[in-house]
Amino acid sequence: MSEHSVYLYAIADATVVDALGDMVGGMVGVDDAQVRTVVEGPLAAIVASVDRERFSEQAIRAHLEDLGWLEKLARAHHEVVDRAAQAHSIAPVRMATVYHSDSGVRELLRERRDELAETLDRIRGRTEWGVKGYAAPAPAPEAAETDSPDTPSDRPGTSYLMRRRTERARVAQRREHVAEAADELHHELAGLAAEHRLYPPQDPRLTGRSDEMVLNAAYLVDDDGAVRLAQRVDAANGDHLRLEITGPWAPYSFTSLGQP
């Protein structure tokens, strides 16, 4: 019989263990392992027993370049966290966080009790929403005017350079307006959120889009404020920005729980 380690999904209040059990009890997650809870004092951990050899530090490190393995792990991890979040506010833990035993999880809950309780208080009644903004396609430039008397037709080189200069100025101005629109929107959305996080723009190879990403942010929003946030994003879709909003998610961006 193989030995097992304990895979940690999330932290919750111990008072909601029954509700969590109704939602995720018996659910199969990472490593096809049954989800369960570990309780220590006022806190509970959502966990599963996984094969120790397959989820050793060395094995996980060896799989970091295996996109198929990572995708399967991420899908199973997020399915459990998302299901649990439907029952109550939870603090999700970074993917592939593994402890040697239940005792290690209980030690975590004891030693970081105050920090974990503060985190749960901070995210209670709130969810994470993601907003990505892309530069909208620039309108086609107006047709070039015919040569004026001040622009002699026998100087095509000069005419070409002037057109190039005008085009560069137009592109630079467009980029400035797009950046200003993204910055203005972020500040408005941040004002509607309890907390926010700004991330670097993603590479087009990850987004699958050719247009430039100019906003990549997460917002921790009160449950009763989500509609207002979505409405503001919808209203900002226009001449300068093309926007995507996703959520509600468990607040991954607003917890800092990771490897022991």
Residue ending a domain, among 124, 140, 162, is: 124
Q: Are residues 243 and 147 in the same domain?
A: yes
Report yes or no on 37 lying in a domain. Answer: yes
Q: Which two tokens stand for residue 35?
A: 């989800």
Report yes or no on 258 lying in a domain. Answer: no
Report yes or no on 259 lying in a domain. Answer: no
Q: Which domain holds residue 152?
A: 127-253
Position 29 pLDDT exceeds 90: yes
Q: Are residues 72 and 147 in the same domain?
A: no
Best-predicted range by mean pLDDT (115-124, 168-177, 201-210, 234-243)? 115-124
The pLDDT value recorded for residue 145 is 45
Position 89 pLDDT exceeds 60: yes
pLDDT digits (tens, 9 = 90+) for 140-196: 665 544 444 554 555 666 776 776 776 666 666 667 888 999 999 999 999 999 999
The CA–CA distances, whole Å, from 180 to 125, 176, 195 equal: 32, 6, 21
The pLDDT value recorded for residue 170 is 63
Confidence of residue 240 (pLDDT cuts 50, 70, 90): confident
Confidence of residue 136 (pLDDT cuts 50, 70, 90): confident
Q: Are residues 106 and 213 in the same domain?
A: no
Cis peptide before 248 (omega within 30 of 0): yes
The pLDDT value recorded for residue 7 is 96
Greatest C-alpha distance within the chain: 92
Question: What residues pair up with 96 in beta bridges, in sequence order?
Answer: none
- Give pTM, 2 decimals: 0.81
Q: Are residues 112 and 153 in the same domain?
A: no
Q: Which residue has the higher pLDDT, 142 or 90?
A: 90
Q: Are residues 76 and 139 in the same domain?
A: no
What is the count of structural domains for the chain? 2
Q: Are residues 67 and 88 in the same domain?
A: yes
Q: Are residues 153 and 83 in the same domain?
A: no
Can you tell me the mean pLDDT for 118-130?
A: 95
Can you tell me the mean pLDDT for 68-87?
A: 93
**Residues of the chain above pLDDT 90, percent:** 66
The pLDDT value recorded for residue 258 is 59
Can you tell me the mean pLDDT for 19-44?
A: 91
pLDDT digits (tens, 9 = 90+) for 212-231: 899 999 999 999 999 999 99
Can you tell me the mean pLDDT for 20-36?
A: 89
